[in-house]
Amino acid sequence: MPTSPSSLRAGPGPSPVAGLTPDALEAAARRLLPEDVRAYVAAGAGRETTLRANAAAWPRLPLRPRALAATGTVSTAVTVLGTPLATPVLVAPTASHALLSPEAEPGTARGAAAAGSLFVLSTRSSTPLEEVAAAAGPWWFQVYVLRDRGLTRELAARAAAAGAGALVLTADTPVLGRRDAGPRPRLLPPGRGPLAVLGRDADRDATLLEQDPLAGWADVAGLAAASGLPVVVKGVLRADDAHRAGEAGAAAVVVSNHGGRQLDGAVDTATALPEVAAAVGTDLEVYVDGGLRRGTDVLRALGLGARAVLLGRPVQWALAVGGGDGVRDLLTGVTDELAAALQLAGCPDAAAVPRDLVGAGALPGGAADRSDTDGEERT
């Protein structure tokens, strides 16, 4: 039988998330959340072309399973930057979890740990990072290069001291993308504002808390020096940028277009992933986010060269519906789907999915045909 992290479930039993499809999960969350929060989570930039393309791209890639492959058992276990995990399905950094559940980021962290996964905590966390770290299993800290470089260094050092395993530098946000819908909700709970991650209210010029548009590749080494941690560059969509990340000292890259929330019209991540993976070879680890929803999507990503994937909006919806247990059950469910897909594909090991498992040329237009972008899912 396929192996899975199901035995890692904690708590009294399944949450309301258990058994829900991604569509049903999102619909359930939307019924529970205020309109401004729903819109904030779901929104993409501009016409939302990239948001839709992300979700539409993965199912269009046909799988080429092997017959009679004797896969009586399979493993979903992987390692990321040397950390062993039960699943390659990780939690992407997203902001302000207190908007979604009273459990906030600690609930998300507990759910990820119970699923044998890894949690990436956002700089825009609504909970102090030390409090999140106390609830977490393996975790990384997402960081921006802020206009206030001293604060950037403080964040990096605090994360390292709290036990983060890596820094994830978001590199695609010199300024915020223009979103026609879903502005950031204005009413955050007390103490959950711009510097909640450090356990204090904003006590400096708010403009200094913005991302610095002058951030460059030299900042990768600066963050590594400030923290002593490996740096993962998130937001890489091109082979030449993947090369630059390696030259700058990055340990890994995330193929990401920020969930379609930054430059509308940017390439979808399923299309960008093979180029980036081929460019870095074995020099850097490669992860991907954007539009992944089912275990078969994860299988496709692994076959295209990713070591792991990150889920953003589905985790937010799961937290809203079921708290930390909901996050656990979402991640466990996707991982269980991956285990079944691995067995059906004749591939025994999520850490060694062959590149020839995904055959883009089998559909008219191949992977480059993106004319139908009315994907049923959000990123």
Catalytic residues: 258
Residue for token pair 């501009």 = 46
Task: Tell me the Ramachandran region of residue 190: left when phi exceeds 0, alpha when psi lies from -120 to 50, beta otherwise.
Answer: beta
Residues in a beta bridge with 255: 236, 288
Q: Check: CB of residue 86 under 8 Å from CB of residue 338.
A: no
- 1, β-bridge pairs: none
What DSSP line would sit under 320-372, residue for residue? HHHHHHHHHHHHHHHHHHHHHHHHHHT--BGGG--GGGB-GGGSTTGGG----
* Both tokens assigned to 248: 């700058």
In whole angstroms, give the CA distance from residue 57 to residue 366: 11
Taking alpha carbons only, the member of 104, 149, 143, 103 closest to residue 120 is 143
Q: Are strands 167-170 and 231-236 parallel, antiparallel or unpaired?
A: parallel
**CA atoms of 10 and 5, how far apart (whole Å):** 11
- The span from the CA of 119 to the CA of 108, in Å, is 8
143 membership: H or E segment, kind and range: strand 139-143
Q: Which of 195, 173, 326, 341 is nearest to 254 (CA)?
A: 173
What is the distance between the alpha carbons of residues 110 and 179, in angstroms, rounded to a whole number? 31
Cα–Cα distance, 195 to 155 (Å, whole number)? 10
For residue 28, what are its two tokens? 């359930």
